[in-house]
Structure formats: C-alpha cells, structure tokens
Amino acid sequence: MGIFSRLKTLIASNVNDLINKAEDPEKMLNQLLVEMQEQLIEAKRAVALAIADEKKLERETLNQKEQAQAWEQKAVLAVKSEKDDLAKEALIRKQEYEKFYLEYKKQWDSQRASTGQLKEALRELQSKIEDAQRKKNLLIARAKRAEAQEKIQNTISSISGNRSAFNAFERISQKVDQLEAKAEAAKELEDLSSDSSLEKRFAELEKSGASADLLLADLKEKMKALPESGDSSG
C-alpha cells in the first residue's frame, strides 16, 4: 500500500502548488491530470508486481503440496514392498514438504489479501481520475465565466470611476437642451410677428373700408341737397 500513500502525498502536494499559482485554471487542470495519469501508471506497475509475487507464491505452495503428496505415495509403495526403511525416509521427506507447504501457504494467503487491497485501491484511484476528467471541462467553463465576470466588473468600475466623461455628456446634453429652447423661442417670436403683421393689415383694410363708406354717404347727402337738373331748366 506504500505506493498509494506516496501517490496521495504527491498529488496533494502538486494540487496545493498549482492552486497557489492558479494563473491558468485550464492549464493547471490539464497538468494535474497528466501527473495523475503518470502516477496511475506507476501504481499499476506496483500492483502488477504484487500480482506476480502472488502467482509465484501460489505456484510454490502448490508445488510443496504436490511434493508432499508424491512422497506419501512413495512411502505407501515402500510399505507394500516391505521396505520400511525407505518408507520412513519417504515420510520424513513428506513431512519436510508439508512444513514448507504450510509456510508458503501462509505467505500466499497474506500476499493474496494484500493484492486484493491493492486492486481495490487501484480501481478507486482510476474511478477518481475518470471523475476528475469529467469534471475538468465543467471547472474550466466555470473558471472562464468567473474571469469574464471579473473583467466586466472591472470595466464597469473603471467607467463608473471616470466621472469626467459622464460630466461631459451631461454638459453636452444641457447645451443641446438650451439650443432647442432657443430655436423654439425664435420660432414662437416669428409666429407672433407674423400674426401681428396680419392683424395690422386687416385693421388697415377695415379702416380704409369704413372711410370709403363715410365718403360715399357724404357724397349722397350733398347730391340730395343739389337742385335737380329739370328744375334748373324751368
């Protein structure tokens, strides 16, 4: 299990170092995944060696067991041949192989348990790396969105802090309002002048019309006072 302990320490160290720098989240995540894959390869090698040791112990254990069984058969054969001395030698050999068999079996069982734990740890590590790969794009997208929001906020703060530009716009707006007011006033004065001139002309016309009526009425009165033309001839 030492390889996984070293792997965990190394990854934690690299993560802390990358997070402290955190200049480029995408680059940081890609680099972290590359290092995880490299350490995963190393972990697989360690598990492969453990499996190989387990297989070797298994073969030795089974071999000791087979040898013990073989010497037991030889002892049986010697007894059947009435050769007790050979039978005793065979049983001693059988006892030696059984002793080694038990020792190898103990080592094999222990190695098999350790290999099982290593396999499980390796599967867990692979699962976590696959999960990290799936999350990478999401984290990159979140980082880019946060960066964009920060830029927007900085821009807004910069614009808000530059009051002179807004003041200039406000002064120009007031100037335009003044120009529009002057133009409207000039037009209104022109309209008033036009109306006054028109009224004056009609007044003069009415005045001249009234004078003509008076002159006409006066003429008629004078004509009535004059003797008729017939009377003057008589």
| 138 found inside a domain | yes
pLDDT greater at residue 230 or residue 123 = 123
DSSP conformation letters of the chain? -HHHHHHHHHHHHHHHHHHHH-S-HHHHHHHHHHHHHHHHHHHHHHHHHHHHHHHHHHHHHHHHHHHHHHHHHHHHHHHHTT-HHHHHHHHHHHHHHHHHHHHHHHHHHHHHHHHHHHHHHHHHHHHHHHHHHHHHHHHHHHHHHHHHHHHHHHHHHHHHH-HHHHHHHHHHHHHHHHHHHHHHHHHHHHHHHHHHHHHHHHHHHHHHHHHHHHHHHHHHHHHHHSPPHHHHH-
Q: Does the global pTM surpass 0.85?
A: no
Per-residue pLDDT reduced to its tens digit, 104-158: 999 999 999 999 999 998 999 889 888 888 888 887 788 788 778 878 887 777 7
Q: Which of 42 and 160 is assigned the larger pLDDT? A: 42
Q: Is residue 41 in a domain?
A: yes
Q: Give the per-residue pLDDT at 233.
A: 47
Q: Do 205 and 103 fall into the same domain?
A: no
68 and 15 within one domain: yes
Each residue's pLDDT tens digit, 146-203? 778 878 887 777 766 666 666 777 788 888 888 888 888 777 776 666 666 666 766 6
- Predicted pLDDT at 161: 60
167 occurs within a structural domain: no
Considering the domain architecture, whether residues 12 and 104 belong to the same structural domain is answered as yes
pLDDT band at 18 (very low <50, low <70, confident <90, very high): low
Domain count, the chain: 2
Both 90 and 51 in one domain: the answer is yes
- Residue 195: the pLDDT is 62
Which domain, by its residues, includes 202?
A: 177-224
In a domain, 37, yes or no: yes
User: Do the domain assignments include residue 108?
Assistant: yes
Per-residue pLDDT tens for 71-98?
Answer: 999 999 999 999 999 999 999 999 999 9
**Residue 234 pLDDT:** 45
- For residue 64, tell me if it sits in a domain: yes
Is 120 found in the same domain as 155?
yes
